[in-house]
């Protein structure tokens, strides 16, 4: 207690002392209380808008949580969720934010917030950014800005960072990392290359980029598109016979089938796996309280079965997992990418419920507390929006990864190995395809004295890592393990 008080105090001293030199944390940015939370914050929180573009018309919203350990030395991490169109409050509310949100017992009342013992703010200063404009609490005064794509998003996020670090110059010397999940598998490397080029060109302020982190990320049409069949075979979801048939007809090319016999085998595969929760094949699709009661009351099931899907998080994982990636038959191709609400007109997603974040972020008092505009200005907060039209115009990410890793930036590519949405088999294959020498051969890694997954290390500081038993949003399923590998990677320690 005393120690963390001291850390906080010195952080405060640091924050204040820099007013002498330059404008520091913006005056209106501190968040001092949050509806639903009674205690005191373990570290400083700030939030607000950074405006960019012509006439400052694009308003990008960030929520910044300083480190609970040593904010002056710990890395700064930018966090991005995917979609495209999904808010980074997904990460804040459901994955690795400072609070666990407990749903209200009564309808229409606000969730209760508890401290999250596995918050990534335990070891880093973390910026949650809603990007591009139109997503989450970010908006534009001119709706033509809602037509966007990979390239424009990366440029805007770079501009955001330059402006953000001018507002918070005391964090410029800290090691800086860019991190994200799912479609942020595109956002992260495209932005990192912009930042790296800016550093080389002497663009001020000079950011201290050290590396980047991608979880269950989209990377390449071919590798990601070919990943499903080997995944479902390895997981025991299709028979060995069907695997051999589909392999014989498609010859390993599943992403871009060129024959009707291959198509018909693929259809058979899809028919077999229908009904699974694609974001975590171990989780039931509906896992509301009623499902849990049935499982719990069945005494003949071994305890381990009755506890399937339970995590150390005090609250169950979400029922609604929509919005973080693609349905099985719509891989990421060049050109317009449908947002989730657009897709849902034709597809029914049975596991739906994310009221907690929606209720909280649309509440007037919450918006006021976090310095966000009201709904009349910024619009309603949605986990994933269809306000934007998004073009995938950056192509495969492989050239970006090759570029960044050969320039000395450290990369962690991690996969929850039970995610069927962006299966680990694709990420494992594309990282291997770079042709880098293996310097740390496939081995288990340990968290809480247990095997937590597998790791393969490559030259050029590229690491591929799996988290055993985790789904698409790793920290949501395996919060302790996620904090462990995150913190070891940031410190440059062996994972
Ligand atoms: C906050 O504290 C008050 C008084 O101690 C209590 O009545 C209320 O239920 C608490 N609320 C939450 C969200 O914990
Ligand atoms: C909105 O932006 C577009 C493209 O930059 C521009 O042509 C148009 O005039 C703008 N509209 C308004 C109302 O400013
Ligand atoms: C599909 O695969 C063929 C080879 O089988 C290749 O020539 C073609 O370019 C591929 N199409 C796409 C969209 O990648
Ligand atoms: C990385 O890409 C930039 C342009 O975006 C280029 O200038 C640079 O030479 C590339 N570096 C490597 C090592 O490929
Ligand atoms: C790997 O990362 C370490 C620590 O940042 C750095 O010292 C080293 O130069 C990097 N190695 C390569 C090959 O980039």
Q: Is the pLDDT of residue 17 over 50?
A: no
From CA 421, how far away is CA 277, in angstroms rounded? 9
Would you state the pLDDT for residue 103?
Answer: 85
Q: Which atom of ligand 2 is nearest to the CA of 145?
A: 2
* pLDDT tens digits for range 149-197: 999 999 999 999 999 999 999 999 999 999 999 999 999 999 999 999 9
Q: Of 182, 257, 415, 487, which is the active-site residue? A: 182
Would you state the pLDDT for residue 232?
Answer: 97
Looking at all shown ligands, the one closest to residue 402's CA atom is: 4
Give yes or no for a contact between 445 and 454, defined as CB atoms under 8 angstroms apart. Answer: yes
Q: Is 197 in the pocket of ligand 4 (CB under 6 A)?
A: yes
Burial of 26 (0-12, 13-18, 19+ CB in 10 A): middle
Would you state the pLDDT for residue 83?
Answer: 84
Q: How far is the CA of 377 from the centre of ligand 2 (A)?
A: 18
Query: For atom 11 of ligand 2, which residue has the closest CA?
Result: 142
Q: How far is the CA of 461 from the centre of ligand 5 (A)?
A: 6
Output DSSP code: residue 384: B
Q: Is 460 in the pocket of ligand 5 (CB under 6 A)?
A: yes
Give yes or no for a contact between 229 and 269, defined as CB atoms under 8 angstroms apart. Answer: yes
Across 370-403, b (16+ Cβ under 10 Å) vs e yields: bbbeeeeebbebbbbbbbbbbbbbbebbbebbbe
Active site residue 440: no
Active site residue 182: yes
Q: Is the pLDDT of residue 326 over 50?
A: no
Number of helices (H), then strands (E), belonging to the chain: the values are 18, 17
Query: For atom 5 of ligand 3, which residue has the closest CA?
Result: 258
Q: Is 105 in the pocket of ligand 1 (CB under 6 A)?
A: no
257 — pLDDT class (breaks 50, 70, 90)? confident
Cα 391 to Cα 58, 225, 278, 323, distances in angstroms: 18, 19, 24, 16
For range 97-125, the mean pLDDT = 92
Q: Is the pLDDT of residue 129 over 80?
A: yes
Q: How far is the CA of 368 from the centre of ligand 2 (A)?
A: 29
Query: For atom 9 of ligand 4, which residue has the closest CA?
Result: 403
From CA 101, how far away is CA 92, in angstroms rounded? 10
Q: Which atom of ligand 3 is nearest to the CA of 258?
A: 5
Beta bridge partners of 58: 52, 140
DSSP annotation string for 415-475:
EETT-SSS-HHHHHHHHHHT-PPEEEEEEEEEETTEEEEEEEEETTTEEEEEETT--SSHH
Would you state the pLDDT for residue 26?
Answer: 74
Q: Of 156, 280, 419, 484, which is the active-site residue? A: 419
Query: For atom 6 of ligand 5, which residue has the closest CA?
Result: 408
What's the chain's average pLDDT?
A: 85
Burial of 458 (0-12, 13-18, 19+ CB in 10 A): buried
From CA 390, how far away is CA 396, in angstroms rounded? 16
Q: Is 38 in the pocket of ligand 1 (CB under 6 A)?
A: yes
Query: Position of tokens 């989730």?
Result: 340
Q: Of 156, 472, 484, 487, which is the active-site residue? A: 472
Burial of 292 (0-12, 13-18, 19+ CB in 10 A): middle
* pLDDT tens digits for range 40-94: 999 999 999 999 999 999 999 999 999 999 999 999 999 999 988 999 999 999 9
* pLDDT tens digits for range 280-316: 898 876 444 444 444 444 444 444 444 444 445 545 4
SS3 content of the chain, % helix, strand, coil (to 5): 35, 20, 45
* pLDDT tens digits for range 447-479: 999 999 999 999 999 999 999 999 999 999 999
Q: Please say whether the dihedral angle defined by the alpha carbons of residues 239, 241, 245 and 248, taken in this order, is positive or negative.
A: positive
Q: How far is the CA of 340 from the centre of ligand 2 (A)?
A: 27
Q: Which atom of ligand 5 is nearest to the CA of 409?
A: 14
For range 103-120, the mean pLDDT = 89
Beta bridge partners of 126: 65, 77
Q: How far is the CA of 468 from the centre of ligand 5 (A)?
A: 27
109 — pLDDT class (breaks 50, 70, 90)? confident
From CA 86, how far away is CA 83, in angstroms rounded? 5
Give the rounded percent of residues in the chain with a pLDDT score beyond 70.
Answer: 81
Residues 6+ apart with CB under 8 A from 239: none
All structural domains of the chain, each given as residue ranges with its CATH number in brackets, are: 2-220+393-434 (3.40.50.1820), 223-344 (no CATH)
């Amino acid at each position: 207690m005393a120690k963390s008080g001291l850390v906080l105090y010195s952080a405060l001293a640091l924050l204040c002392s820099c007013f002498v030199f330059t404008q520091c944390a913006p005056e209106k940015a501190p968040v001092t209380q949050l509806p639903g939370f009674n205690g005191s914050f373990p570290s400083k929180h700030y939030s607000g808008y950074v405006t960019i573009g012509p006439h400052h018309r694009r308003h990008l919203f960030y929520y910044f949580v300083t480190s609970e350990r040593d904010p002056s030395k710990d890395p700064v991490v930018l966090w991005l969720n995917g979609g495209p169109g999904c808010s980074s409050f997904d990460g804040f509310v459901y994955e690795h934010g400072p609070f666990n949100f407990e749903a209200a017992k009564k309808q229409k009342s606000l969730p209760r917030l508890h401290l999250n013992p596995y918050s990534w703010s335990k070891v880093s200063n973390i910026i949650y950014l809603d990007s591009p404009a139109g997503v989450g609490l970010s908006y534009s005064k001119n709706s033509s800005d809602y037509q966007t794509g990979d390239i424009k998003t990366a440029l805007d996020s770079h501009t955001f960072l330059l402006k953000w670090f001018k507002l918070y110059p005391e964090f410029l010397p800290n090691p800086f990392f860019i991190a994200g999940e799912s479609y942020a598998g595109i956002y992260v490397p495209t932005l990192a290359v912009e930042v790296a080029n800016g550093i080389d060109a002497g663009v001020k302020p000079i950011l201290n980029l050290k590396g980047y982190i991608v979880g269950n990320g989209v990377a390449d049409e071919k590798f990601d598109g070919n990943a499903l069949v080997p995944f479902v075979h390895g997981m025991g979801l299709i028979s060995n016979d069907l695997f051999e048939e589909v392999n014989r007809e498609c010859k390993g090319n599943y992403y871009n089938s060129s024959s009707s016999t291959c198509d018909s085998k693929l259809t058979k595969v899809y028919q077999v796996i229908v009904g699974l929760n694609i974001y975590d094949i171990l989780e039931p699709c509906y896992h509301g309280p009623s499902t849990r009661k049935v499982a719990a009351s069945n005494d003949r099931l071994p305890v381990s079965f009755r506890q399937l899907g339970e995590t150390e998080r005090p609250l169950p994982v979400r029922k609604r997992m929509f919005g973080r990636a693609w349905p099985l038959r719509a891989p990421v191709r060049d050109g317009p990418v449908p947002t989730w609400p657009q897709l849902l007109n034709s597809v029914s997603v049975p596991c739906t419920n994310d009221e907690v974040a929606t209720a909280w972020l649309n509440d007037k008092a919450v918006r006021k507390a976090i310095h966000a505009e009201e709904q009349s200005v910024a619009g309603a907060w949605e986990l994933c929006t269809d306000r934007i039209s998004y073009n995938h115009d950056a192509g495969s990410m492989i050239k970006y990864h090759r570029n960044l890793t050969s320039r000395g930036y450290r990369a962690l590519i991690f996969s929850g190995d039970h995610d069927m949405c962006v299966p680990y088999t694709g990420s494992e294959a594309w990282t291997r395809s770079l042709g880098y020498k293996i310097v740390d051969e496939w081995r288990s890694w340990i968290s809480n004295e247990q095997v937590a997954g597998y790791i393969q290390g490559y030259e050029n500081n590229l690491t591929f890592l799996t988290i055993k038993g985790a789904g698409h949003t790793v920290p949501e399923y395996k919060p302790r393990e996620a904090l462990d590998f995150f913190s070891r990677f940031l410190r440059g320690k062996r994972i």
